[in-house]
Amino acid sequence: MMPDLGKYADAVLSSYAVSLVLLALIVWLSLRRSKRIKKELEDIESKVKSHG
Q: Which pLDDT score, from 0 to 100, does residue 36 have?
A: 98
Q: Enter the DSSP assignment of 8.
A: G
Q: Note the pLDDT tens digit of each residue in 19-47.
A: 999 999 999 999 999 999 999 999 999 99
Q: Which pLDDT score, from 0 to 100, does residue 31 have?
A: 98
Cut 0.85: pTM above it: no
Cα 33-49-36 angle, rounded to 5 deg: 10
> Does position 2 have pLDDT exceeding 80, yes or no?
no
Q: Give backbone dihedrals phi and psi of 27, rounded to 5 degrees, phi first.
A: -65, -45
> Does position 52 have pLDDT exceeding 80, yes or no?
no
Separation CA 43–CA 35 (nearest Å): 12
